[in-house]
Amino acid sequence: MAEKFEYYDPKTVKELCKTLDEVGSKTKILAGGTDLIVEMRAGIKKPAGVIDVKKIKELKGIDFDAKKGLRIGSCVTCNELGRNPVIEKKYSILAECAESIASYALRNRATIAGNLCNASPCADMAPGLLVLGALITIVSSSGEKTIKLSDFFTGVKKTVLQPNEFVKEIIIPAEKANSKCKYMKQKRIKGHDLSMVSVAMAVKDKITVAIGSAYITPVVLPEFAKSTKVEKIIEAALSVVKPITDIRSSKEYRLHIIGVYIKRLYEQLVK
Amino acid sequence: MFENIDKEDLKYVGKGVERVDGLEKCTGDALYASDLFLQGMLFAKVKTSPYASARIKKIDVSKAAALPGVRSVLTGAELNYRVGLYIVDKYILAKGIVRHQGEAVAAVAADTEDIAKRAVELIEVEYEELNPVLDPVKALDKDSPLVHPDLGKYSFVEAAFTPKPGTNIANHTKLRKGDVEKGFKESDYIFEREYANPSVQHVPMETHVSIAQWQTGDKITIWTSAQSPFTVRNLFCYSFGISHKNVRVIVPYVGGGFGGKAGIALEPLVACLSKKAGGKPVKLQATREEEFNLLACRSALKYRIKTGVKKDGKIVAQKMTMFWDSGAYADYAVNVTRASGYSAGGPYEIPNAWLDAYTIYTNKVYGTAYRGFGHVEFFWGLERHFEYIADNLKIDPLKFRLINTLKPGGKTLTGETIHHHTGNVTKCLELVAKSINYGKKTPEEIKREKKNKTIIGKGLSALHKAPAMPPFTGTVVILKMNEDGSIIANLSLTDYGAGTYTSIAQIIAEQLKMSVDRIKVAVETDTDRDPYDWQTVASKGLIMSGNAAILASQDLLDKMYDMASQILRCGKCDLRHDNEKVFVVHAPERFVNYKEMAVGYAYSNGNGIGGPLIGVGRYMAAGLTNLDKETGQGNPALDWTYGAHAVIVELDPETGEYSLIKSASAFDAGKVINTKAARGQCIGGFIQGYGTAACEGYIYNNKGQLMNPSFTDNKIPTAKDIPEQMDLFFVETAQLDGPYGARGIGEHSMIGVAPAIGNALKNMTGIELLHMPIRAEDVWKAMSDLKMKKNKK
Amino acid sequence: MKTITFKINGSKYSKDVEEHKTLLRFLREDLHLTGTKEGCGAGECGACIVLVNGAPVNSCLMLAVEIDGSEVTTIEGVSKNGQPNSLQKAFEKHHAVQCGFCTPGMILTATDLLKRKPKPTEAEIKEAIEGNFCRCTGYVQIIEAIKDASGQLKSTEE
């Protein structure tokens, strides 16, 4: 990075709100930095400052409450999520998603909220969180609001976040705990790679399917009854997604893989 | 040389001696060119062209030059120097015309890298975009735009190359053996197909980096991450018209090369920036992205093969046409064309052969040497083609190959006679076939298919390669004995990873009969201090420098014996040496220690004799010739290393994804000098070959812009991508003029990987892939197409 | 400029650092610890991996200011009293090193792995070093070296 910038490191949510009010429009939030610094190095982003949110205790931690469900602080790293016993037991798909991101060292830095806020169609956390009906808590100096994760993404690299807002935490409703679920990610190599296409499925009372890299945002399909035939689910999926042909994959192949993955997930989780 | 030495007697040669450079590399102490920060050093950045072909209408550097901390700014307009290895066709910075996206049009040196980067952003370039030449075959059309309209004015190496002015042909290599048309007439069947592969990036972990200081009086020092210090110096001096004595090239540890650092690259540019900045040292390190398109790549190839065969599988005639996409400049690509041209038939007897190989200029990243030097590319086609022929003849593909392999008494495409000691490709093929249970499925494999819902298939390929080098290539090793009797070896072959220095140390230890721990091969090479070596390329390092090391050891011994015969008062013929002593053969209690003679022997009264010990070994390739330009006949090969690959592939038939359950490689290494280093070369090469086969390659858009110049979209294999099991076999048919019988294996390990996988996929599904890389999507698509074709029938 | 206090390889430092400087550049340019290498600058290759508070991170994607109050281990801090440690010895012995450019990052990644999992399986080794590109070795001898350093190599495999 050749361009100089300011470095802010608020210690509390309150301080963060204040900093964002003052400089939010010309700065970027720095969490793990695994997307932001890459883009700054490439000159795609040239913020006047970065706001390091990792020193804010309120943004950390993973808590489970039988009534309220699961809370994941926005600064929780992929590896913290991956090795958390509650996640492993009750929401294993989130560990799968987290551990499918990049490589081990990168996952020591990459955060869950960072993966979402970067809003790439191939964000690996998104399908897993979407099938669990995740909610996302957005905070600014004017207050706190909780919205559905499915309403968070608005386009490629775009979210509803305003310059003075930040993501405080992610909530998974308690009723989604212990769903049977799994994440499948198509890559070009066995080693770390972005997804060419990915599918998550959760099965409890209903079947929920979410798909990555096949639309301008990660998408979640309307819930299906457990008796739904797999062909119907595939049909529904293919009517929603609009994959593109790019250097990673053709549209046709992406569509094909979505079908294969839904079928395989269905065989494992529903049958 | 010394093929008569009994293997049992060898103490160091043939053992898995630890690397001489291992520890420094494990502690961070090893300094690479990128690690050097010199006093007063400036940092450079380049402005590159976004267009594949354009006229530079205007470059405004005023804002960049005015930025505080900027010390020199250069554009092509100021630099009238052209550089080139075989054809001198490349300006240091694009002058008037840019010929590929990523080509440097201006450069800045500044106090810091940040300032240089900002300055480059301030440079304004006005281009007139031109119609780029992108398809190498269309580039041969009469009405194609010319990438180098001045081709006729360039100087070039006339003994080896044939550029065609007024066309995009940088070189046309011809080969004519026997009567190919007659051969086709005599054939029962004729098979013809075309095979292709894209350009590929070497991906050394250390990107190209050079530092240069151009001092008053045209005294220039260059520190660079390069494979061949003397070639850097020679080409540099040629371009600038400066005496070789004025230019010093220093190569510290090199973080990988694979051919990409074989020639000259950033050195002239940083030198010019230094000169303009008043002689301060200037450093330029390519970013990973620049490594893909500012620096060179492996050339893309279209290979058309037409083969005439008899019913019994015997090849009668073969016509081969190679279209090498050289990109914007000729660099090594013309020689890749020449070398692959004379090898293009593989390790097979082809009585009637006709080859036309063209190096073609296009507006893409330019091609250079890459591990295998053309052989990875054309063997993809050749070994897929032979599989295709065997299938159609309904002959087992292994048997088809064995029928046609070159055997003693056979003739290569250039008319060279094969001897018993040339090597044994048949044995290599048999070893790998056996290792994978070729041609059948084991019960375990059938069980595994059921369990994993996969298909398992097997494929193999044969390969050969000789060093591609001028017929008159030479090298030197100098041994200096230290006061304590230990040895320092100097040579300018660089060891950028292969482990050759360790093998050289073993050879010296064996010759001098002293512990290998007492021998240091000096890592940093310096053209002012070290003796000449042409280049570190072509898998010729061990054979040439190994021989020079033997000769240097013998020279050193000869001088020690001279001294010892005086000291011990006997004839030299009665002397022997062992354990750092020279002794009288029939009275071993009469001896003198090496260290007593190291800097000259001193008698007790103070008289001295001899002088400091030094041994010099000069080795010259012998008996090689230029090839006849019309027929390609002659003797180009220092040695031929034969080999074979085989793979067991597991395929997910629904997605097209595949992985390797097992690989087997066999090479006729002549003699393995270091078992662990040889294994490292063979495994490392195989995985690099797997990358080429499965996931790597340049992707251009229709404007000639490279779409994947980074690790994000140019994946290379990781630890998770390697086969579950990797078998390795060495055949040891001694090379009579190789050190202890050894020949090179550095490149061979990656040559046949892709076709072995392609053949395995064909064997299990019937799909005929003609293009590398073989991505999961390609397999899926080919399987779908095949299914559709069958359904139609 | 920001003043930061940190420990590197056991030594305490207080330094001024420009906010936009990555940890990688800070180590190499300001502290002259050039054992940490840059392979891509984009978090893909692992040549720049160092341990921050014991955990491997890609130093090319971390700002130097972020190490304020932290403890960093680079390859220069691995050997003790001038002697290579067991991983370094194993890498040397097994020819797990060729050009050596990926080696510092690879050894630090392996150091963390063996701390987390003293007897890692082959799959766990691969998982750990997946983010460390090596273009030379094909990984096999690296995996063997890590196995050996964790006391898991039968003598026949050596």
In this prediction, residue B793 carries a pLDDT of 81
Distance of CA A266 to the CA centre of its chain: 22
Q: What DSSP string describes B183-198? A: HHHH-SEEEEEEEEE-
| Subunit contact A188:B775, Cβ cutoff 8 A | yes
Closest residue to C126, CB basis, from B24, B32, B719:
B719
In a domain, B330, yes or no: yes
CA distance C99 to chain B (A): 4
Helix (H, G, I), strand (E, B) or coil at B165: coil
Final residue of a domain: which of B262, B285, B308?
Answer: B285
* AA letter at A45: K
| Same domain flag for B603 and B661 | no
By a Cβ cutoff of 8 Å, what residues of chain A touch chain B?
2-4, 43, 186, 188-194, 247-250, 253, 256-257, 260
Which residues does chain B have with pLDDT short of 50? 3
Alpha carbon distance A32, A50 (integer Å): 12
B370 is written with which tokens?
């890459």
CA distance linking residue A108 with residue A106, whole number of Å: 5
Render B367-434 in DSSP notation, one character per residue: B---TTTTHHHHHHHHHHHHHHHHHHHT--HHHHHHHHB--TT-B-TT-PBP-GGG--HHHHHHHHHH
Place A227 in a pLDDT band, splitting at 50, 70 and 90.
very high
Name the neighbours of C, counting chains with at least 3 Cβ pairs within 8 A: A, B
CB contact under 8 A, C139 and B30: no
Going by C-beta distance under 8 Å and a sequence separation of 6 or more, which residues neighbour residue A166? A16, A20, A29, A53, A74, A138, A139, A140
Task: Say which CATH architecture domain A57-175 belongs to.
Answer: 2-Layer Sandwich (3.30)
Specify the number of domains making up chain B. Answer: 3
pTM: 0.98
Phi, psi of B262 (to 5 degrees): -70, -35
A250 contact residues in B (CB cutoff 8 A): 777
Written as six digits, the tokens of A172 are: 């998974």
Q: Are strands B104-110 and B70-75 parallel, antiparallel or unpaired?
A: antiparallel
* Interface probe with B: pick from C36, C94, C101, most Cβ of B within 10 Å: C101
Considering only CB atoms, B708 lies closest to which of A2, A189, A247, namely A247
Residue that finishes a domain, picked among C53, C77, C101 = C77
The reply to whether C90 and C72 lie within a common domain is: no
Q: What percent of chain A has pLDDT over 90?
A: 99
Determine the distance in angstroms separating the CA of A220 from the nearest CA of chain C, rounded to an integer.
Answer: 29
> Looking at the domain assignment, is residue C155 inside a domain?
no
* pLDDT tens-digit readout, C44-97: 999 999 999 999 999 999 999 999 999 999 999 999 898 999 999 999 999 999
Please name the chains neighbouring B, where neighbouring means 3+ C-beta pairs under 8 angstroms: A, C
- Evaluate if residue A145 carries a pLDDT over 80: yes
Q: Measured on CA atoms in the order B529, B533, B537, B542, is the torsion positive or negative?
A: negative
Do residue B715 and residue A188 have CB atoms under 8 angstroms apart? yes
> Helices B375-393 and B753-765 sit at what angle, rounded to 10 degrees?
30
Domain boundaries, chain A: 6-52, 57-175, 181-269
Instruction: Give the pLDDT confidence of A85-132 residue by residue, as tens digits.
Output: 999 999 999 999 999 999 999 999 999 999 999 999 999 999 999 999
Task: Say if B181 falls within a structural domain.
Answer: no
pLDDT at C144: 98
Q: Which residues does chain B have within 8 Å of residue C45's beta carbon, measured at their own beta carbons?
A: 205, 288, 711
Residue C9 structural domain: 2-77
Chains that touch A (3 or more CB pairs under 8 A): B, C
- To the nearest whole number, what is the mean pLDDT of chain C? 96
Crossing angle between the packed helical segments B753-765 and B776-792, to the nearest 10 degrees: 30
Residues C7 and C70 in one domain: yes
Tell whether B446 is within 8 A of chain C (Cβ). no
Q: Residue with structure tokens 């890592």?
A: B523
The DSSP string of B323-379 is: EEEEET--TTHHHHHHHHHHHTT-SB--SEEEEEEEEEE-SSPPB---TTTTHHHHH
Peptide bond into B773 cis (omega under 30): yes
CATH number at residue C112: 1.10.150.120
Q: Is C43 on the interface with A (CB under 8 A)?
A: yes
Mean pLDDT of chain A: 97
DSSP state for residue B207 in the 8-state scheme = P
Q: How confident is the model at residue A271 (pLDDT cuts 50, 70, 90)?
A: confident
* Number of domains observed in the structure of chain C: 2
pLDDT at B6: 62
CATH code at position C53: 3.10.20.30
C-beta atoms of B288 and C104 within 8 A: no
Say if the Cβ atoms of C46 and A103 lie within 8 Å.
Answer: yes
Of the candidates C95, C132, C139, which has its C-beta nearest B687's C-beta?
A: C139
B258 Cβ under 8 Å from any chain C Cβ:
yes
Hey, is the C-beta of A191 within 8 angstroms of any chain C C-beta? Answer: yes
Instruction: Evaluate if residue C158 carries a pLDDT over 70.
Output: no
Q: Which domain holds residue B736?
A: 297-469+625-792
Chain A residues 122-141 with a CB less than 8 Å from chain C: none
> Does one domain contain both C41 and C12?
yes
Q: Are residues C72 and C90 in the same domain?
A: no
Domain A181-269 class?
Answer: alpha beta
Is residue C66 within 8 Å of C23, Cβ to Cβ? Answer: yes
- Min Cα–Cα distance to chain C from A66, Å: 31
**Is the residue at C156 inside a domain?**
no
* Pairing outcome for strands B315-327 and B587-593: unpaired
| Whether B39 contacts chain C with CB within 8 A | no
CATH (domain of B698): 3.30.365.10
B506 and B639 within one domain: no
CATH number of A6-52: 3.30.43.10
Residues C16 and C33 in one domain: yes
Which of B574, B601, B620 corresponds to the end of one domain? B620
Q: Is C112 within the bounds of a domain?
A: yes
Per-residue pLDDT, A2: 81
* Same domain flag for C95 and C125: yes
SS3 B112: coil
Residue B254 neighbours by CB under 8 Å, 6+ apart: B32, B33, B204, B206, B225, B226, B227, B261, B494, B496, B497, C99
Restricting to C residues 135-154, those with a Cβ less than 8 Å away from any Cβ of A are none
One domain, residues C145 and C92: yes
In a domain, B168, yes or no: no
Q: Which of C55, C77, C99 is the last residue of a domain?
A: C77
Verify that C95 and C69 share a domain, yes or no.
Answer: no
CB B260 within 8 A of CB B497: no
User: Does C157 score more than 50 pLDDT?
Assistant: no
Minimum-distance CB partner of B720 among A3, A4, A191: A191
Instruction: For residue B86, give the nearest of B303, B412, B339, B284 by alpha carbon.
Output: B339
- How far apart CA B551 and CA B545 sit, in angstroms, is 10
**Quick check: is C130 in a domain?**
yes
Element (H, E) at B689: helix B675-694
Between CA B316 and CA B502 the distance in angstroms is: 45
Alpha carbons B386 and C91: distance in angstroms, whole number: 41
- Determine, yes or no, domain membership for C158: no
Q: Which of B307, B59, B35 is nearest to B195 (CA)?
A: B307
Q: Do B385 and B531 belong together in one domain?
A: no
* Interchain contact C106–A (C-beta under 8 A): no
Tokens of A270: 């529903």
Q: Which candidate in A108, A118, A187, A188 is best for mutational testing of the C interface (most C CBs within 10 A)?
A: A108
Same domain, B98 and B223: yes
B547 & B661 share domain? no
| Binary contact (B718, A253; C-beta < 8 A) | no
Of chain A, the percentage scoring pLDDT greater than 70 comes to 100
Task: Please name the residue that has the structure tokens 């508070």.
Answer: C53
Are residues C116 and C51 part of one domain?
A: no
Other residues' Cβ atoms within 10 Å of the Cβ of residue C109: 26
